[in-house]
Amino acid sequence: MLLATLALFIVSLGYGVVVPLLPDLAGGRAATDEALLSAVYAGYAAAKIGAQVPGGVWVDRAGPDRALRLALVAYVVSLAGFLVGSDLRFFTAVRTLEGAATGLVYPAAFALALRGADPAHAGRRLGTMVGLGTAGMLVGPALGGWLGVDDPRRPLWVAIALTLPVLLWALLRPSGPPPAPARTSVRDELRRLASVGRDLAFVGVALPIAFNKLTFSAFQGLLPLYGPDHLGVGPRGVTGLFIVTGVCFGAAQPVAGWLADRVGPRRLIAAAVVPLFASLVLQRFAAGPWAYGAAYAGYVATASLMFTATLKHVTVRFGSDDTYGGLFGMLGTLTDVMTVVGPLLFLNLYARVGVDIGPWMAACGLPFFVGWWIWGRRRPRVAG
């Protein structure tokens, strides 16, 4: 499980390093074309979404060890690409490669971490891996901001240096037992996964993660606007809110996994719904940055509990050792669409409603959890 956790950590760290440095890597803010810059960001998202299902199928057929090696090699090449170019068109191709590599790392890491594990006790394992692995999203921006002041390429060198030992371990580490021989063709397996993705039982179980990604992605763009507009804080205060995101997300995951193993994922999610909505509504009435930070921390913590509980729910209801790759690839594909919708929806809504954005987020979440309550109770139509 340690290798899977480190793989998630380095790809999330690289994401956090690259995103704030892109304008400087391309020659500075004045030389940055917004349309081309948006293509760089979109290329990553599209490649990550597109790689997860076929990548997950390959994980199930070739084994997670082999898939993880290829993904990490591609990831290192993508980071190196930012060191040798300065054109946004070139960066679009490099960032697309990074997205595809990351999209393959995720199903490979989940399959590797769960290999041979008892699904009934997988919550703690998943929570620890996700909590520690995605902490790179906290370390990456701090690393980029600290080391990239004089030379925006310096943080990339550090990210590559941190990645190489993990890659070397993945290359030299003996592979686990080979997967069972495939009983279906790749085309039939993709069709089966498409059926899983259309199954309302699967969609219902996945809805808490979908809402998590819808709002998390929106807050990445909202916090730099909301802080100066309504809290009277500058860049340092906004950075503090992003640190709250990373700390609460990372700390909540192992706790959520432990609880999901003991009380059951569905019961845990149901208990977190009211605190989640309350924390979003309370942001509207927070008097100052500290009160807002407390309400925001409550949102991150409860959303994170739901995230790991949902992973456990998917594992128990739909997964098995020879299908985890494709299953988590499908889960990522369905829910990552929300990372595109979230900023578009809530940034435009913020321009209209301003300080009321928190209650509006809560209102948008109601259909997600009504669907989860109704559809998530159904018996799956398609075996995982």
281: confidence class by pLDDT, cuts 50, 70, 90: very high
d(CA 211, CA 365): 7
168: confidence class by pLDDT, cuts 50, 70, 90: very high
Do domains 1-118+133-175 and 184-384 share one topology? The answer is: yes
Work out the number of other CB atoms within 10 angstroms of the CB of residue 80: 13
- Give me the amino acid identity at 299: Y
Question: Which superfamily does 184-384 belong to?
Answer: MFS general substrate transporter like domains (1.20.1250.20)
Pair 217, 338: CB distance under 8 Å: yes
d(CA 27, CA 88): 10
Per-residue model confidence as pLDDT tens digits over 341-371: 888 888 889 989 999 999 999 999 999 999 9
Measuring CA to CA, how many Å separate 372 from each of 146, 273, 278?
Answer: 42, 11, 18
pLDDT at 292: 94
Over its C-alpha atoms, the chain yields an Rg (Å, rounded) of 20
d(CA 24, CA 27): 5
- Whether the pLDDT of residue 80 is over 60: the answer is yes
- Per DSSP, the three-state class of 196 is helix
24: confidence class by pLDDT, cuts 50, 70, 90: confident
Most confident range, picked from 7-16, 35-44, 172-181: 7-16
What are the residues whose beta carbons fall under 8 Å from the beta carbon of 69, sequence distance 6 or more?
167, 170, 171
Find out if CATH 1.20.1250.20 is the number for domain 1-118+133-175. yes
Please state the domain extents for the chain.
Answer: 1-118+133-175, 184-384
d(CA 239, CA 236): 5
Per-residue model confidence as pLDDT tens digits over 328-338: 788 888 888 88
Predicted TM-score (pTM) of this structure: 0.76
